[in-house]
Amino acid sequence: MSDNKILWITIESYGKTGVGEQSNIFINELSKNHDIENIHLFRFNTQTANNFLKTINRLLNLLLMMIANPLYLYFYAGKFKYIVLELEHLAPLVKHNLHKTISIFNHVPYEKDERLHCKQTLFSRLRSSHLSKANACSLQSKQLVAISNFTKEKLIEKYGLDKNKITVIHSPISLENTNEPINDEILQYFTKDPYSNKKKLLYVGSETERKNFESLLKLMHQLNDDYILIKVGRPEYQHRGDANRQYVKDHNLPVYFIEQVSDSELRYLYENSWAYLNPSLYEGFGRTPVEAQLCGLPVISTHGGSLAEVLEDSCILIKDPYNIQDYVNAIKSLENEDIRRKLIEKGYRNSERFSVEKLSQKWIDLLQLKAKG
């Protein structure tokens, strides 16, 4: 067994702004100067093209999860010095090798806010049961990595873990400009009437209940026609996405949906929008507001979960994520150029805390990597 052989298990479907991306960033950075030529990526791909394929894909992934992948990894994982799990709920796949597994915890499951009414389907109940058992399995890993101090504290509080078993390595923030052409659908919001003279409010993420996207729809009722909202990303749950789009249509709101963007297009949106809105109820880290800050965009955010830790005083923090007037007041305050300039400066300095170079050193220490040569 090679001393530098590492198996890194991740997932494809979460896109460029969430879980899965940090694996790519860290591995690319570590491979530049350290002896990890034998690193192996085991990547689950759950991206789908439409609802029919989504159903077939879900069934195939269930079969893989229950039969093929455990058998494959049972024999394959033994060849590696370390196994890194990008998602803790994949732990059952390597349950026979937990003694050399490092599980990354992106967040700790939270108690649902009483104001949320999530429909409990058979699938959601089965999924919750699986995640609960998988979560318990991952806690038996050799080492845990939390992507924020908040997540570490929650792990200790919820499971009574030894704090020395948990290492905090924040999610790295990196946005490359690949110089790809920008899609005309995106360009129209910045170059063509009736959008070009509007202030663009940007939100990047899904529409799950903890993301609280519905509060932004309510916000657009309260703003005048100087503003439009651009929402980037898939809804994750199609019924929620369909309901939100119907709501926008029924109320004739200036909200525009873009489901998929390239790295260059995402950077373009950050660099050319007027403000970034982050209404989330709970985050284990919160990548997108920091990405916005890296690109010079002032941020208005809730402090749900780790967000107060990650953003500190570099943005306008909303105390009550459901208080629409607080969002309105925050947006109005950004009309003051002095406030706006200071937030842009603070935001950029804050984003530097999460540079790839700084955070990669923690993985180097954890994996005991040796420098090349």
Q: What is the pLDDT of residues 37-94, one digit of tens each?
A: 567 777 665 544 445 555 566 556 655 555 556 666 777 777 888 889 887 777 887 8
Cα–Cα nearest to 284, from 260, 258, 256, 310: 310
Higher-pLDDT residue of 237 and 201 is 201
Given a cut of 60, whether residue 272 has pLDDT beyond it is: yes
Percent of the chain with pLDDT over 90: 53
pLDDT at 76: 75
pLDDT at 371: 55
pLDDT at 64: 57
pLDDT at 199: 97
- The answer for residues whose C-beta is within 8 angstroms of residue 269's C-beta and 6 or more apart is 186, 202, 204, 230, 232, 261
Domains contained in the chain, number: 2
Note whether residue 1 is domain-resident: no
**Any idea what the Cα angle at residue 235 is, between residues 229 and 238, rounded to 5°?**
130
Note whether residue 142 is domain-resident: yes
Percent of the chain with pLDDT over 70: 80
Given a cut of 50, whether residue 17 has pLDDT beyond it is: no
Tell whether 232 and 112 lie within a shared domain: no
pLDDT at 58: 57
Note whether residue 177 is domain-resident: no
pLDDT at 153: 95
Note whether residue 286 is domain-resident: yes
Q: Is 52 helix (H, G, I), strand (E, B) or coil?
A: helix
Boundaries of domain holding 265: 184-354
Backbone angles phi, psi at 306, to 5 degrees: -85, -5
Backbone angles phi, psi at 101, to 5 degrees: -105, 140
pLDDT at 53: 57
Q: What is the mean pLDDT of residues 160-173?
A: 93
pLDDT at 67: 58
Note whether residue 268 is domain-resident: yes
Tell whether 157 and 290 lie within a shared domain: no
What CATH number is attached to the domain comprising 340? 3.40.50.2000
Tell whether 250 and 342 lie within a shared domain: yes
Higher-pLDDT residue of 333 and 370 is 333
Tell whether 304 and 231 lie within a shared domain: yes
**End-to-end Cα, the chain, rounded Å:** 20
pLDDT at 277: 98
CA 33 to chain centre: 27
Tell whether 229 and 137 lie within a shared domain: no
Tell whether 36 and 143 lie within a shared domain: yes
Report the mean per-residue pLDDT for the chain: 84
pLDDT classification of 19: cutoffs 50, 70, 90 = low
Q: Pull the structure tokens for residue 293.
A: 């800050």
Q: What is the mean pLDDT of residues 314-343?
A: 97
Q: What is the pLDDT of residues 215-270, one digit of tens each?
A: 999 999 999 999 999 999 988 778 889 999 999 999 999 999 999 898 899 999 99
Q: 69 to each of 72, 136, 142, 155, how far by Cα in Å?
A: 5, 19, 21, 28
Q: Where are the beta strands (DSSP E) in the chain?
A: 6-11, 40-44, 82-85, 101-105, 143-146, 166-168, 199-204, 227-232, 255-258, 275-278, 299-302, 316-318
The CB density around residue 241, as the number of other CB atoms within 10 Å, is 19
- The answer for residues whose C-beta is within 8 angstroms of residue 139's C-beta and 6 or more apart is 103, 159, 161
Higher-pLDDT residue of 311 and 120 is 311
Note whether residue 295 is domain-resident: yes
pLDDT at 68: 57
pLDDT at 52: 55
Cα–Cα nearest to 267, from 334, 204, 357: 204
Note whether residue 285 is domain-resident: yes
Q: What is the mean pLDDT of residues 273-301?
A: 96
Tell whether 31 and 42 lie within a shared domain: yes
pLDDT classification of 96: cutoffs 50, 70, 90 = confident
pLDDT at 27: 77
Given a cut of 70, whether residue 285 has pLDDT beyond it is: yes
Tell whether 102 and 235 lie within a shared domain: no
Tell whether 194 and 168 lie within a shared domain: no
Q: What is the mean pLDDT of residues 96-107?
A: 89
Given a cut of 80, whether residue 122 has pLDDT beyond it is: no
What CATH number is attached to the domain comprising 58? 3.40.50
Higher-pLDDT residue of 371 and 190 is 190
Let me know if 319 is exposed, middle or buried by CB neighbors in 10 A (0-12, 13-18, 19+): exposed
Let me know if 121 is exposed, middle or buried by CB neighbors in 10 A (0-12, 13-18, 19+): exposed
Note whether residue 178 is domain-resident: no
pLDDT at 149: 96
Tell whether 281 and 324 lie within a shared domain: yes
Tell whether 359 and 326 lie within a shared domain: no
Tell whether 207 and 116 lie within a shared domain: no
